[in-house]
Amino acid sequence: MNLPLRERYPEAFLWPTKTYQPISAFCLLPGTINLAGVPREYTLQPYRDSVDLQIDYEVELNESQRAAVTALPGPALVIAGAGSGKTRTLTYRVAYLLEQGVPADRILLLTFTNKAAKEMMGRVTDLIGRDMSELWGGTFHSIGHRVLRRHAEALGFTRSFTIQDREDAKGLITACIAEADIDVKSTRFPKPDVVGDIGSLAINKQVPVSEIIEDRYPWFEPLTEQITDVLNRYTKRKLANGLMDFDDLLVLWLRLMKEHEDLRTMYQQRFQFVLVDEYQDTNLLQAELIDLLGARFKNVMVVGDDSQSIYSWRGANYANIMEFPKRYSGAQVYKIETNYRSTPEILNLANAAIAANTRQFAKELTACRDSGEKPAKVVCSAADEQAAFVAQRALELREEGIELSDMAVLYRSHFHALELQLELTRRNIPFSITSGVRFFEQAHIKDVTSYLKWLANPRDEQAFKRLVLMLPGVGGITALKLWGQFLTAHAGSRPLAEAVQLCAGVPKKAKVPWAQFSATVAQLEIKPVAGDAGAMISLILEAGYSDYVEANYDKAPQRKDDIEQLSVFARQYDSLENFLAELALLTNVEAEQERSENEDEEKLRLTTIHQAKGLEFKVVFVIMLCDGMFPSNRSLDSLDGEEEERRLFYVAITRAMDELYLCHPLIRTVAAGSSDDMIQLPSRFLKELPGELFDEWKIGSFDPYQQGAF
């Protein structure tokens, strides 16, 4: 039997030392020389026995998993492909270290989500068979919080500091804007939550605020100095008031490690082994923390999949995982390529899909399952036909015994599923939307549709109030007064724009925006725009709402894309009334889903690919595979952007266990009955796939005469 690791590599298992002044000669080690007046060091070795788990690693792990689990001390990068048992590998690695005599409190296990942390700790506890509370396991932020609670005084905080939520942070930034004496109206200064987002992104990317503004918020470049000043005031106020926000849990943890050598040394000595889950999602700040904590022993094992790195937009740094072997000299690279999730046919397609990326670790997923159906490339005439196909095929599969909850429809952006939501609603097929805030409940969508609702029904009080509350200086009481004045002015069917102009209760600071609002309403009342929902939405965006989005909301470009696509969607309807009727139908369905979200009801899952990462389904439909939509136009500005989109496509494919349908609509409807519909080219990712790896399906309409129905 092989010797335990601690005996073969004792230098990797050094324990933190405690230094004592001997009080008698009996404390002296044999052979030492006692110099008068010089304290002597006496090292206490921990009394720890290895944990006798009797785990049969040969039986419970495959060869590649076992190689990573039993890896020798030292830095290690584990490339764990989709469906390869990443969590199992990490869990058994912890068990193996405990078997080798590593105390639980000398192991640090870092994850990204509370769900992952809970699952990992639960599995470790089940495997070990005893409480694992001594193990330092949790998210980056939870571990940071734990450390800061112990050492807050070193940074000028008390241990009783408060962690701010988003609303608290927004309030404090508002106070900082006021303190800086900034005229937010005349300068079109960003809203407090947007300022907070700018600061957060700068922190997570470890770049100056000016760089974030230049790259993501160019419309705010003239205000860069003022925004930076507000964020500096915000930082000082947090310290003065004993407050930390979510980002501070990492920023201040890193600062603590950098500025306080004694604490840095203590934690470097404590954490003999550092394990990191989903390493491809780390940002620069998190990578630096890992490097610092693992600097003494170098026993850093990071686990991830470079082919599933899809979060650069929130600060993840792809270079972390790609350059790990360069940063850690002598690092071992382990590849886990056996996939337990998908059929060979799906994996062959996945391998081909990612092959075009130039920056990646070479790997090829292999299946341990029996062969199944080839993936299907489904060519549809338009988005409504795509929706009909998904709905019908889902029902067919349901009849074959696959529950709706075992199926998912994946898409790149929220608006890609608009037609599908309508079709599922018409057919009474239950579905859940897990792609974040439901499309029609998003603030910017509700803003725009409020215009349409009010123009269609001038007595819609709620729609009117939502519009006027967007104006500077207008609060709830003023909005109510303006509503009363509008009703009086509108009596006798006076044009809406004229009635708006007659309202006398407009605050001084809202005079100019109110005049612009009136002018926009006047344009919306005139043919050919009037009554054309799509044209009305486009005009609203162009007439000033675009500026409002930039000043008031985060992710302004994506929100404007949503509105533009809503305009395209609306042009399918021959009247404003018909569009609003469908809108009401969808909104009511979304509200019902919100109420029954926790019910154990079988539903088809609709979700963005980003939010589907880590999940698996027996059947997966990927829709709107059109160039410019997936990959998105915005991503094609750089090679890195295109490669990340291809990784996103790879993630979508690898969610499928048994069946995969890749859907491509040929046209996008511009207007009902129009001959100017947009031709949509298939996604370049589809064109990269060898034809022999999929079956092509072409959708035809039912013909009773050809089907022999009579």
Show which residues are catalytic: 86-87, 277-278, 308, 655
- Which 8-state DSSP code applies to residue 80? E
DSSP 251-289: HHHHHHHHH-HHHHHHHHHH-SEEEESSGGG--HHHHHH
Q: Is the peptide bond before 430 cis (omega within 30 degrees of 0)?
A: no
For the chain, give percent helix, strand, coil, nearest 5: 50, 10, 35
**Could you give the CA distance from residue 61 to residue 476 in angstroms, rounded to a whole number?**
63
Q: Which two tokens stand for residue 43?
A: 């090292």
Q: Which two tokens stand for residue 674?
A: 């129009």
| List of residues 6+ apart from 571 with CB closer than 8 A | 532, 533, 534, 535, 669, 670, 671, 672, 674
Chain position carrying tokens 């809108």? 583
- Which 8-state DSSP code applies to residue 542? I
Phi, psi of 24 (to 5 degrees): -155, 165
Q: Which two tokens stand for residue 483?
A: 């509503």
Cβ-contact 516, 480 below 8 angstroms: no
Q: Give which of 617, 604, 607, 618 is closest to 430, Cα–Cα.
A: 604
216: helix, coil or strand? helix
Cβ-contact 34, 28 below 8 angstroms: yes
β-pairing, 273-276 vs 107-111, is: parallel
Taking every pair of Cα atoms in the chain, the longest distance, rounded to a whole number of angstroms, is 113
Q: Which two tokens stand for residue 663?
A: 């859907």
Cβ-contact 74, 299 below 8 angstroms: yes
Neighbouring-strand partners of residue 243: 162
